[in-house]
Amino acid sequence: MTPMTARDADVIRDDRMARLALACVTDPADPRVADQVQAEGALAFWHSLSARRADSVWGRRVPGTRLDVVLAAMRRHGLRFVIPGDDEWPWSLDDLVHATWEKARGRPLGLWVAGPGHLADWAERSVAIVGSRASTAYGEAVAADLGADLSATGVTVVSGGAYGIDISAHRGALAAGGRTIAVLAGGLDHPYPRGNARLLDAVRTTGLLVSEQPPGERPSRSRFLWRNRIIAALARGTVVVEAANRSGAKNTVSWAEACSRILMAVPGPVTSACSEGAHEIIRDRDGKLVANAAHIREAIAPLGQETLPLVHGPARPVDRLSENQLAVFDEVPGRGGRTAEEVSIKCGLPLLVTITILGELEDLGFVETTDLGRWKMKSGSVG
């Protein structure tokens, strides 16, 4: 691709390059940008910005934008720019066209992607696992286990690559040899945070790194919030493992709600401030309580395709008794004993039927007779 600068706007002649250029000068999730692109098309919007640079903050950024530098960085770092309409573009991100949260709206103009995975295919069956950066050992262990168990069964694990819950979820997925996508808040040429560089390099090698920010851009508070909408929209559901009341993970939850995604949360100790946000999601936001990967797979599966068996307590010896046998057995005391006639009266069955059933229960080892010919429960018969 020929190197170019933003000063040479005429070189940008197609939708892909126009979107790439616009992504370098506009802010994500700005409804005004989304509306202009929808109304004019990306190419016309770019040329109008270039022609009237002083009329808007976006236009004033055009002269300082070096697209040749961006393109060179893309080649150097093996990045591709995926846009709506591409085979690799996930349809789920189109929900961001209308999803709104605190005046932010708009699907990405495009995404920079690195890694061998196919973004659309991997997003088709995916779950976001998010939570606090200041996580506990409990939360990190749960996130890693969920990441491993989900990815081992073909579910893609999506998260933000941050410290704490995010990186634990990625780590679990990688350990299981499964699929994971890290959506970052800065350019993919320098994945942030640097403390997670080794693991994020592993994600790039076997999974996918994704960002709305061009190479060379650093994360900021607003960019973390903007990237949260991509995490939420990519996945079929969002699981919060640990989140304090003011955790950034709750912003992801808000975007998941705006995109009509399934909300889930893992409960924690009621004494832990790190779990207050997760408990609030269950209590006040109709989030599903999940404790393991099977719960999550059931929640995101199409109706009836993956249901869990009913949970029963441990099997008891009396479970195999018939209704009449159980009725007779319930009236046989543990001490002292009763005559067959007394048991018959208590259980409401005819005497001959009662005598027959008492004999069956004796053969099964549930009852026995005393020296006085009375019936009592056999010691140890019910555990």
Together in a domain, 173 and 58: no
pLDDT classification of 7: cutoffs 50, 70, 90: very low
Choose between 265 and 319: higher pLDDT: 265
307: pLDDT strictly greater than 60: no
Rounded distance, CA 210 to CA 85, Å?
17
**Are residues 263 and 255 in contact, defined by beta-carbon separation less than 8 angstroms?**
no
Together in a domain, 21 and 107: no
48: pLDDT strictly greater than 90: no
pLDDT on residue 64: 81
The per-residue pLDDT for range 25-41, each reduced to its tens digit, is 999 999 999 999 999 99
The answer as to whether 311 is a domain residue is: no
The model's pTM:
0.80
Together in a domain, 226 and 88: yes
Mean model confidence pLDDT for the chain: 89
Choose between 123 and 57: higher pLDDT: 123
Together in a domain, 132 and 44: no
pLDDT classification of 66: cutoffs 50, 70, 90: confident
Together in a domain, 43 and 174: no
Q: What is the CATH number of the domain that holds 354?
A: 1.10.10.10
Angle (CA) 173-179-184 rounded to 5° is 85
Q: Which two structure tokens, joined as six digits, stand for 381? A: 């018969």
- List % helix, strand, coil for the chain (3-state, nearest 5): 50, 10, 40
Q: Which of 32-36, 99-103, 302-306, 326-330 has the lowest mean pLDDT?
A: 302-306
301: pLDDT strictly greater than 90: no
Together in a domain, 92 and 177: yes
308: pLDDT strictly greater than 60: no
